[in-house]
Amino acid sequence: MDKISGDPYADLTQEDFTQKRSSVRDSLLLRASMRHEALSEPVQVRVRNLSAGGLMAEYPVELDTGTVVEIDVRGIGWVRGSVAWATDGRIGIAFDHDIDPKAARKPVGGGEHTPSYVRPPLRRF
């Protein structure tokens, strides 16, 4: 079939549609709190991957694209963004401002001491 002259999309490739997702995504599994205007209190979600520009999380309620949300990511704090997509119990959130995703992997505690419940028992001879 001949190309329609003047069609602005005729020469686009798949790469043209995926350029916006060029940032590296870090696969992980962590809990986060999420809130949006339809909720009276924050809810827990499981973050599956995280990048500087957004994240994917498990959330069973389908939200409309463009819904403004805030998510509390460990080591980073509350981040504002909007729903980019929602399907099959997962949502993609595009952040309003880039974050440092490596901060979510840093230890949360001050590292002063190891709690007794995670210390190996000492054997006495």
What is the C-alpha radius of gyration for the chain, rounded to an integer number of angstroms? 21
- In terms of residue numbers, what domain contains 66? 23-103
Task: Tell me the C-alpha to C-alpha distance, in Å, between residue 55 and each of 44, 111, 119.
Answer: 14, 28, 34
Task: Specify the pLDDT at position 109.
Answer: 58
Structure-token match 């002063």, residue found? 112
Q: How far is 80 from 82, CA to CA, in rounded Å?
A: 7
- pTM score, two decimals? 0.66
How many folded domains does the chain comprise? 1
Give the CATH number for residue 93: 2.40.10.220
* pLDDT at res. 106: 72
Compute, in degrees rounded to 10, the torsion defined by CA atoms 86, 88, 90, 93. -10
Is 114 domain-assigned? no
Within a domain: 76: yes
State the 10-residue block means of pLDDT for the chain, 125 residues long: 52 49 65 92 94 94 93 93 94 95 74 65 68
Contact 69, 63 (CB under 8 A): yes
The answer to whether position 16 is within a domain reads no
